[in-house]
Amino acid sequence: MTVIVRRNGSKGTFVPFYRPLSLLNEMDRLENKTWDSWRSFSLSDSQVPHTDIYEEEEQLVLKTELPGINKEDLDVTIEGDRLTIKAEKKEEVKEDATHHTRERYYGQYFRTVALPYPIKENKINAAFDNGVLELRLPKAEEVKAKKIEINAQLTQGETKKRQQKNRQNKS
């Protein structure tokens, strides 16, 4: 079946269901071409470790997963309000072995976190156990909530006098 469609006096042929899968095949080809060549963004071949940050009463707690990292290959620094974690997992290469698959990640881990408030840098507690780095960052004194004590309570007479003074000042 052939359907003739005329637009502006020109002849064109519209053939419905002619090679119905060709459009889908072409779309698949374009998709594969696009996504197969795509590479994920990386900061000079480094991984960003998974990190949890939460606040306890007097401190900020940061837990970061660094699987396969040795304590000696870990570097944690604080500069201003930035905490930086760097680590490197060294490759285990067997020269005389034939590798069938190599899926494990080797290289650098890098993570910088903006701290939400100032901390006591000299009181930081760091622990590294089973590939999890835990940092406890105590809040600086100026950040901690301070309770304000109320010294005296005004009597009813003093309260009325203040109210009258306020009314007179507004007039």
DSSP label at residue 126: E
In sign, the C-alpha dihedral spanning 133, 127, 61, 125 is negative
Beta bridge partners of 141: none
Record the tokens describing residue 134, joined without a space.
């835990």
pLDDT digits (tens, 9 = 90+) for 144-165: 677 777 776 666 667 677 777 7
| Total-model pTM | 0.56
Q: Give 111-125 pLDDT, tens digit per residue.
A: 899 998 889 888 999
Residue ranges and CATH numbers for the domains of the chain are 3-36 (no CATH), 46-91+104-138 (2.60.40.790)
